[in-house]
Amino acid sequence: APQRAPTLIVRKEGQEVQRILLSDKALLFGRKVPDAPARGTLRLDHDSISREHAVIIHAFSGETFVCDLGSRYGTKVDGEPLKPKAYTALKDGQILQFGESTRRFGFHRNPPKAPQSAQRSLPQAGSKNYAPPSQPVATDAEEGEDVEVDPMASYVDADTDDDDDDDDDDDDE
């Protein structure tokens, strides 16, 4: 089964400006962190963003949580302010907002195709009901459980390697 990593689709004034693959264990958002989403940190340049503002974490259960780290201007999910320093489960399609920044971060478990890649696949590839002809749709449905389990198995392996890298970085600092 294809890897379907949860993705944040970043929009500014309704236009998609960035996609961030949440393939790692955690992603830290802040004003004073390196802008390196692939390494687990995302810098948000806005006065209302705290130095370490919020974090998104994947649990082994497959759930994804967001936690505001006690930031001054807070974090909102679908317009509702989060309780600081409490884990809130993210649901598919929910919109995150950090501080007063106008960027909106949409959380998608199975993200629609990115605009650029749309030409390379079927016109309706954005809808997950359309499978390219090469993929038999029935097998996916019959083996629903396997589809859930397999990505997680390889996800955990990949994770271990990433954690090792992270530990090395911490030692250097």
Short-list 85, 45, 46, CA closest to 65: 85
Q: Considering only CA atoms, which of 12, 5, 26, 1 is closest in space to residue 98? A: 12
Q: Are 58 and 7 in contact (CB under 8 A)?
A: no
- Which token pair is 8? 């944040």
- Reported pTM: 0.63
Note whether 72 and 51 are within 8 A (CB): no
Do residues 99 and 46 lie in contact, with contact meaning Cβ atoms separated by under 8 Å? yes
Backbone angles phi, psi at 104, to 5 degrees: -115, 130
pLDDT digits (tens, 9 = 90+) for 140-157: 444 444 444 444 444 444
Domains in the chain, ordered, with CATH? Answer: 1-166 (2.60.200.20)
DSSP secondary-structure letter at 150? H
Average pLDDT over residues 6-21: 93
- pLDDT level of residue 131 (50, 70, 90 thresholds): low
The pLDDT score that the predictor gives to residue 13 is 92
